[in-house]
Structure 1
């Protein structure tokens, strides 16, 4: 199986991002649908992963610019049938490289507690106590992109 990640910079690709997020967060994790789409979507940089063999869109993530140094990665989601195949890491790696080319120095994210080991393997360090987001326990994590 071959996969690729790209910026979701068209309305059609953005629609696939929303579908994956709805599938993962709303259907699987019971996040209220009104919390999933914030109305600020046009302020974020969206990315999508595709299985280049089947042409299926299988994962998504986005980042928000915090300031001229920091991005905040959000809404990392991989379709259930494609988990544990490196898609999440591929998305994070691509976003980090994309952000580096734009001059960003730090990446931060709010990880669901059960996903912390995944992000630690990618070099992220816990930087907060546990807090609830949409009823799910999270902790903020950070990584130096330099």
Structure 2
């Protein structure tokens, strides 16, 4: 987990991990951390992405898309109907079906 925290800090993303969070971390065949995402369930129907980051060596390789697809599948399988994220990198998240929702001060995707 320390490696993932360091990755987030390398992008100036401050993160506080808690027991309410779930994590998905990707590693290469030689055990190099490639990227990750962490999220929490807001309630039974809403999962919220806290942060997602890909190591700079692995940018533009489709890993972000893989992480987004996997987290969507996991939270949907767990019963979530919606996935939310703050307004960070709106254009990026809109590629995956997220839409702006002022009522949550962020973006939302129906699963």
Which of the five TM-score ranges fits, normalised by the shorter chain? 0.7 to 0.9
* Structure 1 residue ranges without an equivalent (≥5): 1-13, 26-30, 130-138
Provide Cα deviations, 1:61-104, integer angstroms capped at 9, x if missing partner.
Answer: 11111001000011111111211111111111111111111111
- Aligned residue pair count: 110
TM-score w.r.t. structure 2 length? 0.87
SS of 1:111's partner is: coil
Aligned with 2:18 (options 41, 45, 56):
41
Distance 1:111 1:80, change over 3 A: farther
Answering whether residue 93 of structure 2 is matched by residue 119 of structure 1, we say: yes
Distance 1:89 1:37 in 2: 21
Unaligned stretches of 5+ residues in structure 2: none
Larger radius of gyration: 1
Mapped to 1, the partners of 2:4 and 2:71 lie a distance apart of 15
Q: CA RMSD for the aligned pairs?
A: 1.8
8 Å CA contact retained: 1:58, 1:78: yes
Q: Higher helix fraction: Structure 1 or Structure 2?
A: 1
Deviations 1:36-76 (A, max 9, x none): 243x5221001111223x42111111111100100001111
Structure 1 stretches of 4+ with a deviation exceeding 2 A read none
Matched, 1:70 2:57: no
- Contact 2:35–2:55 (CA<8 Å) still a contact in 1? yes
Q: In the alignment, which residue of structure 2 is the partner of 1:105?
A: 81
